[in-house]
Chain A
C-alpha cells in the first residue's frame, strides 16, 4: 500500500500494517505536517516527536516525494503500477488537477484500490469546507448530544472523526480487496469523515427516524438513563441504574444509605426514570462516602457493569491490559526515547499484533525503495534529490 494520508486517516493503514500489509508512507521532502501535531515527546536535547504521528505511522516504511513537480508525478505513476492499494486525503479535485485522478491511475493499474478519505465526501455543497475534528464533530451530530444540559455542547476527547473514519476506510479497503479477488478489478472508494461521526452515534439517528426524537445532551447521564457517573470520596465511578435494582438497594440498605429508595414503589423502572434526580441524589450521598475501588470491586462481584472513571495514567497500569500485553514498546526515531504504544485490540490465535519497530523519519527508506525496488540509477536519484523531487 501507498499511504499519502495526512493525520485524518493515517491510522487506516497503520491497522492494516499491523495485520501484515506492507505500507509505504509517502511524505513531501520536508516531512509531513502531521509531524507537527501534539502531544509531543521531547528528549533532553530538545528534539521533539509527535505522539499522534507515531501512533498512526509506526510499522510503515517511508519515502519522500514531491507530487507538485512533473518528475515527481512520473515517479508516482511508476510506483502506482507496483502497488495494490492507495490511501490519500487530498481535497476533492486536487488529484484531478495533478493529472493523477483515479481513472488515469487505474488505466496504469486496473486492479488499483484507491481510497479517498475527505472531511465531507467528494460531492455536495460543503465538500471544500475546512475541517478539523471540532468542525466534523459539530456537523456530524456528536457535539449536540454531549455535555451538560445547561452548558455548551462538548466535543468528545481526541480526534474521533479521524479514527472512526480510518476504521471505515480500512474496512472499505478490505471489502474492495474481496471484490478484486473475484473480478480482478480495483475501485475508487470514497470515505467521509463527517459521515463517520454520524455513523457512530449509536442511538441518535435511528431514534429520530423511528420515534421522531431529537436527542439532547444530559451531562453524564446516559441517553436512556441507564448509566451515570457518580462522585466518590477519591474519584468517580461509572454506575448503572436499571439493572439489578433490588441488589443495589440491598447494598445501600446494608450501608444504611437507602433512604426512601427501599420503598417497593421504586421497583417500577418508569417511576425511577421520572424521578431520576432524586435517585441520583440518594445514590450520590452514598457513593461520596465510598472509594472508587470498593464500588468497582464489589459492584462487579454483584454483576453490575460498574467501572472507575480512569484518568489516562491509570489505564497504562491497568492489570488487565498488562496481562493482555496490549501496550508494546517502540522507539521514537527523532528523540531516541522508547515509549509504550497501544497495539491492535484483538489477538489472532492467541497472539498479539506484531510489535512496533522504531518509527521512521522522512525518507528513511528512499534508497532501498527507489534504487533497489523501483530501479532508479544513483545519478537519477541524486538529481531528483537535488531538485527537491525526493
Chain B
C-alpha cells in the first residue's frame, strides 16, 4: 500500500481497524482528530487507542468549523481514499459527502461505514458491536439449547466490519487502476455480521425445522462425542470432536479401551448422538483426570480432533502462533516494548514494515499543513489560535 494516502475520519473500533490494516501494509494514514473529542476511549493516551491506531499519523481539525472543513477538502484533493464511520447524515451536513468530494478529486475512493448502511428505514439507528450481534442472530444462536441467550461478550462484529472495509478498499483500488475511476462504498456492519452466519440464515429460510441454538453441539456435521470437557487445574478445558468410527476407535484407544466403549448404545455415530449425554459424562470422567494439553496432544497424535481451550496467557506463548509469525512488538511510551498481534497472513516475499506506535494528538500537523498543504507557519499558528487546527 506504499504510495497510497488515506484520510481517516473514523473513530471507535470498526473504522480504525480498517485504516489500521491499510497503515500496517504501508499506506500513509492521516487520522483527523479534534482535542474536544479526543477523550475517553478516543484519547491518544489510552491503551485501546494505542492498539487500534498504530502506524497512523494524527492531525487536529475541528470539523464543526467551516474553515477546518475547507482544509479537510484540500486534503481530500491530495488523498487516494477517504474513510468515515459517522452516522449517515454527518458528512452530508458538513458538505463532505461523496458528490462534494468528487468535485475536489474525481478519482477519490470514499468508504462510508456505519451500523446499518447509508440507506434504509433504520439508517439513523445507533449501533455498537453487541447491538449488531444481537440483530443478526449471532447472540441468539451463541447460547445453550433452552437457555437465555448468552452472546459473545466482545465486539466481533466490529472487527468483521473492519475486515470488509479493508477488502472493499482494496477492491476499489483494483477498479481504479483499471478504469481510473473512484467509487463510493457504502458498508453496513449489520450486513457484515449477517454474512458470518450465512448458512444459518439460509437454513432459517429454507429448512423445515426452526433453527435453534446448539451450545457446544455440532450443528452442521454429525459428530459424537463432540463437546468441551473440564480437565485438571483452574478452568482448563479440552474440546473433542469425533466424526467417524475410525476416530471413535482411536479415542477409545487413548482412553485405555474402557469397557463402556463397546456398549451397544455407542456402536455407531447415530447411536452415540442419541446418547450424547451419557457419552459426555463418561468422556468427561476421563478428562477430569487429565491435563488439557496432554489430553489434546495424545488425542491428536491418535488422529482425533481435539484442542485446548486457550486463554490470553496461553496465546501469548503459543508455539504455533509464534512459528507463523503472528506476533511482533511496538514501542509504548510508558510500557516500553510491548508485543502486539499482527495478522494470520504470511507472504513469502513481503514483510510489512515496522510496527510504529499510535500517534500523539496532532503530531503530524506540521507535516500535513506545512509540507503537504504548503501553509506558511504564521497561517498554521493563526488557525491553531482560532481553534481550527485543534
Q: Which A residues fall within an 8 A CB radius of B?
A: 11, 15, 19, 36-42, 51-52, 54-56, 102, 120-127, 129-132, 134-141, 143-148, 151-160, 163-165, 167-172, 174-179, 181, 185, 187-196, 198-211, 213-223, 227, 229, 231, 236-238, 240, 300, 303-316, 318-321, 323-324, 326-327, 337, 339-350
- A316 adjacent to B324 (CB under 8 Å): no
Q: How far is the CB of A365 from chain B (nearest CB, A)?
A: 23
- Residue in B116, B197, B207 whose beta carbon sits within 8 Å of that of A320 in the complex: B116
Q: A120-B320, A139-B308, A304-B126 are in contact. Are A223 and B164 (CB under 8 A)?
A: no
CA distance A343 to B207 in the complex (A): 19
Q: Establish whether residues B344 and A195, one from each chain, have CB atoms under 8 Å apart when the complex forms.
A: yes
Please state if B167 and A174 are interface contacts (CB–CB under 8 Å): yes
Q: Please, which residue of chain B has its CB at the minimum distance from the CB of A205?
A: B341
Judged by a CB distance under 8 angstroms, whether B279 is at the interface is no
Alpha-carbon gap, A306 to B13, bound state (A): 18
Verify B185–A306 contact, CB threshold 8 A: no
How long is the Cα–Cα vector from A121 to B323 in the complex, in angstroms?
Answer: 8
B72 proximal to A (CB < 8 A): no
Number of A-B contacts (CB under 8 A): 479
Interface string of B121-146 (1 = CB under 8 A from A): 11101111111111111111111100
CA distance A321 to B50 in the complex (A): 34
Q: Which residue of B lies closest to A157 (CB)?
A: B141
Partner of A319, one of B122, B186, B230, B300: B122
Q: Quick one: which of A164, A181, A185, A210 contacts B177, CB cutoff 8 A?
A: A181
Residues on A with beta carbons closer than 8 Å to the beta carbon of B216? 134, 152, 154-155
Residue B94, interface by CB 8 Å: no
Closest CB in chain B relative to A169 CB, distance in Å: 8
**A contact face: mostly helix, strand, loop, or mixed:** mixed
Query: Contact: A144 with B171, CB < 8 Å?
Result: no
Report how far A346 CA is from B221 CA in the complex, Å.
31
Contact in complex: B320, A127 (CB < 8 Å): yes
Query: B63 CB to closest chain A CB, in angstroms?
Result: 20
**Closest A residue by C-beta to B329:** A209
Q: A124-B323, A143-B309, A210-B47 are in contact. List 9 more A-B contacts (CB 8 A).
A: A51-B206, A120-B320, A146-B142, A152-B237, A181-B177, A195-B324, A198-B315, A220-B139, A341-B198
Segment touching A, from B30-38, B261-269, B331-339: B331-339
Known: A209-B340, A220-B148. A194 touches B220 (CB 8 A): no
Please pick, from A144, A308, A313, the residue contacting B309 in the complex, using a CB distance under 8 A: A144
Give how many B residues have a beta carbon under 8 Å from the other chain's beta carbons: 141
Whether A157 and B138, one on each chain, are in contact in the complex, defined by CB atoms closer than 8 angstroms, is yes
Given contacts A168-B344, A238-B139, A320-B121, whether A313 and B210 have CB atoms under 8 Å apart is yes
Beta-carbon contact of A152 and B228 below 8 Å: yes
| B341-357 contact mask (Cβ, 8 Å, vs A): 1 or 0 | 11111111110000000
Check A15 against B167 for contact (C-beta < 8 Å).
Answer: yes
Q: A55 to chain B: which residues have CB within 8 Å?
A: 198-199, 202
Stretch at the interface among B77-85, B155-163, B366-374, B381-389: B155-163
Residues of chain B contacted by A326 (CB below 8 angstroms): 188, 191, 194
